[in-house]
Amino acid sequence: MLNEELQEMLNTLQPKTNKWIANLIKEWSENDAATRAIIQLGSSWDTHVAAEALIRKEGVTTETKEGTIKTHPAVRISQTAMDNYKRLLKFLGIEVDTIIQGEEKD
């Protein structure tokens, strides 16, 4: 059973991610610190997915007010979120190969 703070954190995740993370918590969590890290794993995944959706919609580059082209800010957000995701997997001792795109392999 999650305490109120952890449940609130879990509830901020997208529904599909919430379900996946709730299952990971049951399987991998040994304490509140591990549960927090697992929930952050889900948050990193959701941030990555949202940034990728924005990149698909708006493109990899954007035009500044001065008219120059630069990398869309969502590219960096996506990269940072995926870096955090991978770091958290390693911290938790979850093999990267066991999880594909936010879902456990069958």
Residue 106 has what pLDDT?
A: 43
Q: Is residue 105 over pLDDT 90?
A: no
3-state per-residue secondary structure call for the chain: CCCHHHHHHHHCCCHHHHHHHHHHHHHHCCCHHHHHHHHHHHHHHHHHHHHHHHHHHHCCEEECCCCCEEECHHHHHHHHHHHHHHHHHHHHCCCHHHEECCEECC
Which pLDDT tens digit goes with each residue over 42-90? 999 999 999 999 999 999 999 999 999 999 999 999 999 999 999 999 9
Whole-prediction pTM: 0.85
